[in-house]
Amino acid sequence: MNHKMKYFLLGVALMSLAVAAVWNLSGASMTGAVKQFILQTAANSINGTLSVGDVAFSMSGNMLAKQVELKDKAGTLVASAQTLSIDFDLADLLTRRFDVDRVRKISLDGLILNLSRDKEAHWNTEGVLRKTAAPAVAAAAIFRGQVIAANASIKVATSDSNYAFKNVDGMIDFAKYPDLVMDLKAKEGSALIAAKGTWNFSGGGNVTVTLDGVELTSFGPTIPLTGPVSTTFVLTGTTDKPSATGSFKVPSGALGTLSFSNAVGDFSFANESLTLANAKFNALGGAISTNGPVSPYTLRYVQKVTGQNIDSAQLSDKDIQGRLNFTADVRGQGPWEGANADGTFNMGAGTISGISFDALTGNFSKRGSQTRYYNLRATIAGQTINIGDADTLDALKIIFKVPMLPGFPTPTNPKDPIAPILPKLPSLPRLF
Question: Per residue in 237-273, pLDDT tens?
Answer: 988 889 999 999 999 999 878 899 999 999 999 988 9
H/E stretch holding 38:
helix 3-43
What is the predicted pLDDT for the residue at 140? 46
Answer whether residue 76 shows pLDDT above 80.
yes
Specify whether the CB–CB gap between 93 and 103 falls below 8 A: no
Which of residues 116 and 399 earns the better pLDDT score?
Answer: 116
Under the banding of pLDDT at 50, 70 and 90, the label for residue 32 is low
Specify whether the CB–CB gap between 63 and 36 falls below 8 A: no
Q: Average pLDDT over the chain, rounded to whole?
A: 76
* β-strands 112-116, 146-157 pairing: parallel
Cα 351 from Cα 326, distance rounded (Å): 18
Mean pLDDT within 358-384: 83
Angle, alpha carbons 76-155-272 (nearest 5°): 115
**Three-state secondary structure call for residue 23:** helix
Specify whether the CB–CB gap between 337 and 321 falls below 8 A: no
Among candidates 198, 219, 194, which has minimal Cα distance to 207? 198
Which of residues 233 and 339 earns the better pLDDT score?
Answer: 233
What is the predicted pLDDT for the residue at 421? 37
Q: Find the distance separating the first CA and the last CA of the chain, reported in whole Å.
A: 97
What is the predicted pLDDT for the residue at 401? 43
Answer whether residue 138 shows pLDDT above 50.
no
Report the chain's C-alpha Rg in angstroms: 35
Cα 258 from Cα 171, distance rounded (Å): 41
What is the predicted pLDDT for the residue at 13? 42
User: What's the pTM value of the predicted model, to 2 decimals?
Assistant: 0.73
Which range (137-141, 236-240, 256-260, 382-386) has the least confidence? 137-141
What is the predicted pLDDT for the residue at 195? 94
Percentage helix, strand, coil for the chain under 3-state DSSP, each rounded to 5: 20, 55, 30
The neighbour count for residue 111, using CB atoms within 10 Å, is 21
CA distances from residue 367 to 16, 33, 331, 362, 372 in whole angstroms, order as listed: 85, 71, 10, 17, 9
Which of residues 416 and 29 earns the better pLDDT score?
Answer: 29
Under the banding of pLDDT at 50, 70 and 90, the label for residue 162 is confident
Q: What is the largest CA-CA distance in the chain?
A: 133
Which of residues 41 and 254 earns the better pLDDT score?
Answer: 254
Answer whether residue 14 shows pLDDT above 60.
no
Mean pLDDT within 339-348: 92
Answer whether residue 71 shows pLDDT above 60.
yes
Long-range contacts of 148-152 (CB under 8 A, 24+ apart): 148/105, 148/106, 148/107, 148/108, 149/107, 149/108, 149/111, 149/184, 150/107, 150/108, 150/109, 150/110, 150/111, 151/109, 151/110, 151/111, 152/108, 152/110, 152/111, 152/112, 152/113
Mean pLDDT within 206-217: 92
Which of residues 399 and 289 earns the better pLDDT score?
Answer: 289
What is the predicted pLDDT for the residue at 35? 62
Answer whether residue 342 shows pLDDT above 90.
yes
Cα 30 from Cα 95, distance rounded (Å): 10
Question: Per residue in 297-334, pLDDT tens?
Answer: 788 899 999 999 999 888 765 677 899 999 999 998 87
What is the predicted pLDDT for the residue at 233? 96
Answer whether residue 163 shows pLDDT above 80.
no
CA distances from residue 6 to 3, 11, 114 in whole angstroms, order as listed: 5, 9, 59
What is the predicted pLDDT for the residue at 405? 35
What is the predicted pLDDT for the residue at 20? 43
What is the predicted pLDDT for the residue at 29? 54
Mean pLDDT within 142-163: 82
Contacts (Cβ under 8 Å, ≥6 apart) of 329? 302, 303, 304, 305, 341, 342, 343
DSSP per position, 284-322: TTEEEEEEEEE-TTT-EEEEEEEEEEEEGGGG-SSSEEE
What is the predicted pLDDT for the residue at 304? 96
Helix runs in 44-72, H state only: none
